[in-house]
Structure 1
C-alpha cells in the first residue's frame, strides 16, 4: 500500500527507477512551461502544509476535480500526508521536460529521502507532449527512489550507518511513517537491528526483535523456493503444464496452456491481483485448504495468452501451492515448514491459524482508517496464510533465510541464479524472475520482494555478491522503500560501477497475420503481430494494436505493456478480437517506449480484415 501515489484522469505511467541525489550544491529552477508552473505550485503548496490551501489548489488544478466533487479533498489529504512524512520537498534535478510533462527528483527536508515526481498536463494528440487547453493536471505521481552513484552519500562506515539510520527512523516514527523492525546483515555481522512502535496498542506491547510480522507477499519467495526444490529433486519441471499436476483442470485452457514457469513469473494470464479484488475472486477468508482458496478463480478465463505479459497474480501462486502438494505428497504448509523454514533455521516463522486475538509475539497490523486513525486489521485477515501471502516471521529469521540462500542450503547456486534472472521488466527497470524482483544498481544485482496489505508493509532485499541483507518489517501502512532506498545509498561502494547504457537504438519491423482465413461478425478471430528487432534492445516497450472501420473510427484497441524486445529478437504477440458487424477493417500497430513515453514505430494499414 503506497499512500504517496495518486493517479488522475487519463492513463499514465508512474516511473520508479534508481535515480536521486544527495544534497546538491544548488537547486535547479522549475521550467517555465505549463507542467513546470503546475508542479512548482503543487510543491510550494505542499511545503506550506496547509490542508485547505491544498484542497483549493487541487480543485482548480486537476482535471478530474471537475467530474468528481470528492476528488479535491481526497487529493489534498494525500498531499498533506506527504508533507507530514517529508517535512516538505526540495527540487534537486530535472529529469525530463516538455510543455505538458515534467519529471523531477526531489528530496525530503526532514528525512533526506528521495522521490521522483511526475506530472502530466492536458496535451494535444497524437504525441501528447505539447500542452493544450484547459492546461490542467491529468496525472501526478510520487515514487520513493534511490540516489544515483554520482550524487549518493555512499560508503558510510558501520558507526555512521547506525547513526544515520537512527536519525531517519526517529523522524519517520515521529511523523507516523513507521512502526516495526529494521535489520541489516552483512555475512555473519549484524550491522543494525532495532524495533520501533507497538506490536499491540491495546495491550501496550512494544515491537521487539523477536516480534513476528505478517510478511504479506514476501511469502511468494518461500513458494518459489519450494518449487525449485522439487525441480532439483526431479519431481516436476518448470515446463510442466498445470493440468499435469491438477488433472481436474486438464481439460481447461488454464490446465493445457499455463505452465509452472508462467505461474512463477506472473505471466500466466490467470486472474491478476487487482482483477481478483474487483470481481470478488479472492480466496474466502475462512478457507483452510488450497482447494477452497482456489475455488473462486479456477473457472475464470485467462486474461491474455500465457507468456505474453506480466500481471501480478496471487491466484497463480495459490496454484503453485496446489502443485507443490501433489508433487511432494504432503500439504503445502507442512512442506514449506519442513523444507524451507526448518531447513533454514527459521524457528519463529510459520503459517499461523487466526485466533480471536493474535498469539504471543505476533504484531497486530494497523491500517489507515477514517480521520487519520489507525485501526486493527485483524478482522480482515484470512484464517491462515496462502502460498501467495501471510506467512509470519521475524527480522532475524528473514536474515537466516537469506543466509541459507547464499550458502546454497535451500537451492543449488545454478538453479537459484535462474530464479534470480528477470523474465519480464517494468518501466522502472525492475525485472521479475521466479518469486523475486531483480534490479541492477551500481553494477550490483539486488534481489528483493515487497509485501503490502492493509496494516502490513515490508521490504526484503538481498545483495548476493556481498552477503548483504536488508529487512524492513512494519505493522502500519507505511512506505518501507524509503528506508531500503537510503540503506542502498549508504551501503553502496564509493566508486560504484555505472553500467553504460546501450547507444544503439532499436530498429523494429512489424508484420501481422490473421490466424483464421475468414471472419464473421460476432465470431472471434486471432491476430498475430510479429515484432522483429534488428537494432539495440527496446526496454519495457508497449505494443499497441488498433482496429478501425472504413470511416476511420477506432472500434478496438489492445495493448501489451512492459516488453523487452532484445537485439536480433523476433516475437509474436497474439490478440483476440470479436467484430460486432460486417465490413472492411484496417489494423494499425505501433511500438512505444515505457508508458507511451516515445513512439518507436507506428504502421498504419498493417493489415486489412474482411468481416462477413
Structure 2
C-alpha cells in the first residue's frame, strides 16, 4: 500500500511539473505574440518551436505593397547572410569526408589565384572565421556602381577582389566579409566537381527536405516571393524596392530565398546531426573564446548562453535562425523591411523572453525608450530619462534612428537624436559627422560646418567631413 501511495505521489508531482512547464512556455509564446502584434509596421513571418515541435507560426504585413498581397507562412523571403550557414555546413561535410582540412591554404584548390599571400597564407579556417584580411567586394565602388545583372555567378565576382589589396595580414583580426564565403563556394565547386548550387541542393536542402529554398534570380519570377522594402533615399518618408541594391542572384555568401518552414527544417536537421556527424555538429556550435563568430556560426547572449545560429541583413532584409540550446527553443525570423523596422525589436524581445535579460538587451530597450521619449516628448524629456538611468545608450541604435529621421524628412527630430548622441559620446567623430549632416539637410549651414569641423578634429582622416566642408564652405 505504501508503495502504491509513493508511486501516486511521484506521478502527481511529475504531472504538476509537466503542466507547469507547458504553462510557462505558453505564457512566453503569448508574451511574444502580443509584442509582435504591437510592432507598428512589422512585416515578415515568425516560427517558434519547443522540444522540436512548432508551437507558434504567424505572418505579418505585406509581401507586395503595390497589390496589397499579405505575407503568409509559406512566403519566400530573402535570407541574406543566413546562406553562410549552408556554405559552412558544406565545407564541414567535405572535411568530414576527408576531402579537405581546416588548415589547407587557398592555393591548394585555386592555384591560379593572383595574390601569392592569399594563395599560401589564407586557409579554410581563416575564411570560415572571417580572419583572412581579404578586401570587401560587396561595398566596393566597382560593385555598387555597376549593374548587378552582371554578377550572376561567383566567377563573375572575381575581378572585384582578386587583384585588390588586402585589408590586413591573414589572421591579424576579425572582419566580416562576404568575400570569404565566395571563396569557400569556389573551393566547394573545385573539390566536389559540382556547381555550388547543385552541391547545396543535393547535400543540404534535399537532406533537410527544404523544397522552397534556393539561390533564385531575383529579376525572374519567384513563386510566392516577398518584395524587399527600404526607406527611400529619393523621396522622404516613402518605401523603395531594393532590386537594384544587391546581387541579382544568391551565392555562397548568401542572398537566396527561403520560408520559415524550410529554415526551421534546416535548424532541426543541423541540431539533430542529419547534415553532419555529432563531432562536426558540436565543433560548429562550439562558442569561440573571443568574439561572437565561430565557424560559420554566430553566438548570442552572454558567454555560455547556448544560443547559436546565423542572421542576415541588408536593405529591406532581416533573417535569422537561432537555437536556444539550454531552453530547447528554435526561433525562425524572416522580414522584408530594414533591420530597424521591427526585426531587431522582435529578435531582442524574443531573446529576452526566452533566455532572460542581459546588459546588452537592457541597453537596447533603454535606448529605444530614450529615442521614443525624444521623438514623442522632445530632447529635454529625453535628457531627463538619460540622467535618471545607470544604463548605457547604444550609439549604433541612436545613430540608425537619426538617419531614419533624415530619410523621413524629419530633420529637426534627426538633429535632436544626433545631439543626444554627441552629448553621450563626445569622443565619437561619427556622432558629430551625423549631426553635421542633419543640420546640412535642414539648411542650417553654419551649424553643419561647425559639427563637421569637430568631427574632423577627432578624426583627421574623415574624408566625408572633408568633402562636405569643402562643398559647404564654397
Counterpart-to-counterpart distance in 2, 1:421 and 1:305: 26
Counterpart-to-counterpart distance in 2, 1:342 and 1:284: 33
Counterpart of 2:280? 415
- 1:466 positional shift: 4.6
Q: Is 1:436–2:297 an aligned residue pair?
A: yes
Counterpart-to-counterpart distance in 2, 1:184 and 1:407: 17
Listed as ranges, the matches of 1:199-238 within 5 Å are 199-238=63-102
Distance 1:424 1:245, change over 3 A: farther
Distance 1:167 1:439, change over 3 A: closer
Listed as ranges, the matches of 1:192-271 within 5 Å are 192-249=56-113, 252-271=116-135
Kindly indicate which of the two structures has a greater share of residues assigned to helix.
2
- 1:199 positional shift: 0.6
SS at match of 1:157: helix
**Higher mean displacement: 292-301 or 210-219:** 292-301
Query: What CA deviation, in whole Å up to 9, does each residue of 1:526-580 have, x standing for no partner?
Result: xxxxxxxxxxxxxxxxxxxxxxxxxxxxxxxxxxxxxxxxxxxxxxxxxxxxxxx
Counterpart of 1:446? 307
SS at match of 2:131: coil
Q: Please, which of 286, 311, 335 is the counterpart of residue 175 of structure 2?
A: 311
- 1:297 positional shift: 0.5
Q: Please, which of 220, 237, 241 is the counterpart of residue 372 of structure 1?
A: 237
- Checking the alignment, whether the CA contact within 8 Å between 2:129 and 2:295 is kept in structure 1 is yes
- 1:191 positional shift: 1.9
Listed as ranges, the matches of 1:529-548 within 5 Å are none
Counterpart-to-counterpart distance in 2, 1:230 and 1:465: 29
Listed as ranges, the matches of 1:488-499 within 5 Å are 488-492=351-355
Where structure 1 has 5 or more consecutive residues not aligned to the other structure, the ranges are: 1-153, 497-612
- Checking the alignment, whether the CA contact within 8 Å between 1:196 and 1:206 is kept in structure 2 is yes
- Checking the alignment, whether the CA contact within 8 Å between 1:210 and 1:394 is kept in structure 2 is yes
Counterpart-to-counterpart distance in 2, 1:317 and 1:186: 31
Counterpart-to-counterpart distance in 1, 2:296 and 2:147: 23
Counterpart-to-counterpart distance in 1, 2:147 and 2:290: 32
The alignment yields a C-alpha RMSD, in angstroms, of 2.4
- Checking the alignment, whether the CA contact within 8 Å between 2:48 and 2:56 is kept in structure 1 is yes
Counterpart of 1:164? 31
Q: TM-score, normalised on structure 2?
A: 0.66
Listed as ranges, the matches of 1:146-161 within 5 Å are 157-161=24-28
SS at match of 2:58: strand
Counterpart of 2:347? 484
Kindly indicate which of the two structures has a greater share of residues assigned to strand.
1
Q: Is 1:289–2:150 an aligned residue pair?
A: no
Distance 1:251 1:493, change over 3 A: closer
- Checking the alignment, whether the CA contact within 8 Å between 1:344 and 1:401 is kept in structure 2 is yes
Counterpart of 1:475? 336
- Checking the alignment, whether the CA contact within 8 Å between 2:287 and 2:304 is kept in structure 1 is no
Distance 1:424 1:253, change over 3 A: farther
SS at match of 1:170: helix
- Checking the alignment, whether the CA contact within 8 Å between 1:155 and 1:492 is kept in structure 2 is no
Counterpart-to-counterpart distance in 2, 1:424 and 1:332: 31
Counterpart-to-counterpart distance in 2, 1:381 and 1:305: 28
- 1:424 positional shift: 6.8
**Higher mean displacement: 159-168 or 279-288:** 279-288
Counterpart-to-counterpart distance in 2, 1:223 and 1:441: 26
Q: Please, which of 194, 198, 202 is the counterpart of residue 330 of structure 1?
A: 194
- 1:465 positional shift: 4.7
Counterpart-to-counterpart distance in 2, 1:323 and 1:219: 16
- Checking the alignment, whether the CA contact within 8 Å between 1:404 and 1:410 is kept in structure 2 is yes
Distance 1:216 1:246, change over 3 A: same
SS at match of 1:476: coil
Counterpart of 1:341? 205
Distance 1:473 1:392, change over 3 A: same
Where structure 2 has 5 or more consecutive residues not aligned to the other structure, the ranges are: 1-20, 359-474
- 1:462 positional shift: 1.0
- 1:235 positional shift: 0.9
- 1:423 positional shift: 4.5
- Checking the alignment, whether the CA contact within 8 Å between 1:462 and 1:468 is kept in structure 2 is yes
Query: What CA deviation, in whole Å up to 9, does each residue of 1:232-277 have, x standing for no partner?
Result: 011111111001101111762111110010000000000136xx41
SS at match of 1:159: helix
Counterpart-to-counterpart distance in 2, 1:315 and 1:203: 37
Distance 1:290 1:307, change over 3 A: same
Query: What CA deviation, in whole Å up to 9, does each residue of 1:68-100 have, x standing for no partner?
Result: xxxxxxxxxxxxxxxxxxxxxxxxxxxxxxxxx
- Checking the alignment, whether the CA contact within 8 Å between 1:406 and 1:464 is kept in structure 2 is no
Counterpart-to-counterpart distance in 2, 1:338 and 1:227: 14
Counterpart of 1:529? none
SS at match of 1:379: coil
Aligned residues: 332
Query: What CA deviation, in whole Å up to 9, does each residue of 1:182-208 have, x standing for no partner?
Result: 111123321211000011112221101
Listed as ranges, the matches of 1:35-46 within 5 Å are none
Counterpart-to-counterpart distance in 1, 2:303 and 2:317: 30
- 1:347 positional shift: 1.0
- 1:281 positional shift: 5.0
